[in-house]
Structure 1
Amino acid sequence: MTAPRDDTPSDDTEAARAREAARRRRLAEVFGDVLPDDTSDSPRPTARDEDWYRENRPPHHGG
C-alpha cells in the first residue's frame, strides 16, 4: 500500500525557495544587473539570416 501523494510544497521546499530568493536579492543589491539579457546592439535574426543558414548548413547536420 502506498501513502497518498501530497503535491503541496513542504515547509523545507518553501524555506529553500525563500532562502534562494533572499540570496538573489542580496546579489542584485551588491552587483546590480551586470549584463542585461539582451542589449540594444544585439543582432536580431531576420528571415535572410535563416535563409543563409539553411543554404550554408553542412550536410551532416541534417535537414
Structure 2
Amino acid sequence: MTEPDETKEPEWKRKQRLARIFGDELPETTQDERDDTAESEESTSDRWLKSQVPPHHGG
C-alpha cells in the first residue's frame, strides 16, 4: 500500500500546518517557569499545606 504524498512534507511544515488547524497543544513554557505566577499567588493546595504545619515547626 502506498502512502499519500502528504507524508513527504518536512516535519516543520507538518507541525506548522497542524498548529494552524488545532492550535498549539502545549505552551512553550510550563506554569512554574513563567513570571506571571509569582509567589504572591498561592494555590489552594499550597495554602492547605501551609495550614497543616504544626505551630512548633514555624511557618
TM-score, normalised with respect to structure 1: 0.28
**Greater relative CO (CA pairs within 8 A, separation 6+):** 2
TM-score, normalised with respect to structure 2: 0.29
